[in-house]
Amino acid sequence: MEYESVLIVKPEVFIYKIPPRASNRGYRAADWNLKEPTWTGRMRLVAKGTAVVLKLEDKTSGALFANCPIDTYPGVAIEAVSDSSRYFVIRVQDDNGRSAFLGLGFGDRSDSFDLNVALQDHFKWVKNQEQIEKEKTEPKQELDLGFKEGETIKINMRITKKDGSEGPSRTGKNKGSSGVLPPPPGGLGKIAPPPAAAAATTVRQSPGVSPAHRPAAGGSEWTDYASAGGNQGQQNSANANWVQF
């Protein structure tokens, strides 16, 4: 069951008798007697399903004056004049199917704008409903994503080696960094000198002297060693000079 819905109501509209169209240039409101409308009353735009009807009714009693069935917009049933946005030419019909063309006018441009918008929205909705019904009856075309015979595909893959040479670097340096590690906390990290006792007991070994003939710290033992091995000392000195050279 379809319900009747009211799309727009205007409490006051004007109806005019219009002369026949003289040419194909369209209707002109200036050719009408705008100061003396034929009828004044209420307008209702009513939709029932996809059909829409413009009804002219009495302001007080609501009695029907004329019906204007509209099958498309813009179209023959309702047409805007060429010289004003407040006036239209409508085709009214009676119950016997007889029709006549009348002039329809509004006192304010906003009222005529509302009629335009209401008609456009209705027929846009009708078009969407027709598209939905068409999709229900027609089978949908399935999308074939399979490979056809002889068709090939090429895939570029980046293979990373085990050592990570092809992959992104794991370690990175921040911009502006010199790569030098900061010093440890607590100062510049100076190394303390060795103790004095250890330095006193350290003996410098001459080149060519074996550890078995290392002299003791006392001077007497150094003298005995020098007198007993004079020739060997000269040879060691020669060897030391040769090494230094």
Dump pLDDT digits (tens) for 211-232: 545 544 444 444 444 444 455 5
Residue 56 is assigned to a structural domain of this protein: yes
Residue 93 has pLDDT above 70, yes or no: yes
Q: Is residue 117 part of a domain?
A: yes
For residue 39, being part of any structural domain is answered with yes
Q: Per-residue pLDDT tens for 53-83?
A: 999 999 999 999 999 999 998 889 999 998 8
Structure tokens at 50: 């996809």
Domain contains 238: no
**Which CATH number fits the domain that encloses residue 67?**
2.30.29.30
Asked whether residue 187 is domain-assigned, the answer is: no
How many domains, in total, are found in the chain? 1
Beta bridge partners of 158: none
Record the pTM.
0.55
d(CA 202, CA 120): 111
* 112 belongs to a structural domain: yes
The answer to whether residue 191 is domain-embedded is: no
pLDDT tens for each residue of 106-128: 999 999 999 999 999 999 999 99
Domain region containing 46: 4-137
Residue 55 counted as domain residue: yes
